[in-house]
Structure 1
Amino acid sequence: MSPVLAGVTIAVVTVSDRSAAGTRDDVTGPLLVDRLAAAGAEVTRSLVPDDVAEIRHALEGAVAAGARAVVTTGGTGVAPRDVTPEATAPLLARTLPGIPELLRQRDAHLTPAVALSRGLAGVTGGSPGALIINLPGSVRAVESALGVLPGLIAHAVAQLDGGDH
């Protein structure tokens, strides 16, 4: 049996002022890259500060370069510089609210703070479209999301390509 994400190109975008400035190591970006690659994906990685224009540029660039899915990590909270959802929203032709709902439900028993996550998920316009998913910047949240993301991404990409449910 082939890996679930075989042949799927995924871009991982870490959103963090401190990591972009080199004052803090990016932990969640490499974690996502390693685990998605282990599931068979071809993965690229970038790092941008918490800035709407830079985040949007990274997302648009990843999709233009052929990524079928873009997974962001960081910038989904309520702090003044947490702007990943604002950068993502204009790029989504169709939202998929079930993905962030599922991810929050998975961790709600651990901390009620998951209710403060504002991450979005959806599909870009155009053909065939790309899936964008915003994840929090915490290792625990990313680890939990990785329990379901490979299968969800594979299924969504197959549907975007005209596959059956």
Structure 2
Amino acid sequence: MAGVDKGEFTFAVVTMSDKGSRGERVDTSGSHIKETLLEEGYTFEDYAMIPDSIPVIVDTLKKIADTQRVALLVTTGGTGVAPTDVTPEAMLQVIEKEVPGIAEYMRLESLKKTPHAALSRGKVGIRGTTLIVNLPGSLKAVRENLETILPILPHALEKIRGDEGDCGITPS
């Protein structure tokens, strides 16, 4: 998006993983998110790896959104249908406004690659002025989903922080 300094937008990454939070797994998905957003020009603020626990997820996401006030909070993990996948349920306690179109767009693009994308339950929403995006846990899915939404993030983040420009007009 022309005229947007993505460096104005801070971001945080939170990985939901029981094994990762116990030090039993390397977090390749969270690392990829951080590296990609840094390459895109966003400003890194925070990273956390936490267990798949609704209270821990809710507390962590609220704390980052409310106290650090990052523009973008990207999570990875816990979006599927396994018994421990509780990220979408936690999100319902965190977000103030859902943005279903972004989640639907990621699933639509993922379905072109694998029918397993239909099992993704990730949500996207806003808390305060923070856009929170849930990505799946696998590195492959993170790469594909992040690639899908990168072009729309600057516009979304500007709108969330109060930009009153028309959405259909391309800046010159």
Matched ranges for 1:62-141 at <5 A: 62-63=64-65, 64-124=67-127, 126=128, 129-141=129-141
- Partner secondary structure for residue 24 of structure 2: coil
Please tell me whether residue 155 in structure 1 is matched to residue 155 in structure 2. Answer: yes
Where in structure 1 are there 5+ consecutive unaligned residues?
A: none
| 2:18 matches 1:17 | yes
Matched residues in 1 for 2:107 and 2:34: separation?
21
Larger-gyration structure (1/2): 2
Q: Count the aligned residue pairs.
A: 162
Unaligned runs of 5+ in 2: 168-172
Q: Deviations over 1:69-88 (max 9, x none)?
A: 11100000111110011111
1:14 is displaced (CA, Å) by 0.4
Deviations 1:8-49 (A, max 9, x none): 111110000011111111110000000001111112211000
Which residue identity is paired with 2:157? V
For 2:29, give the aligned amino acid: T
Provide the identity percentage: 37
CA separation of 1:123/1:105 partners in 2, compared to 1, >3 Å: closer, same or farther? same
Aligned-residue RMSD, C-alpha: 1.6
Q: Which residue of 1 aligns with 2:56?
A: 54
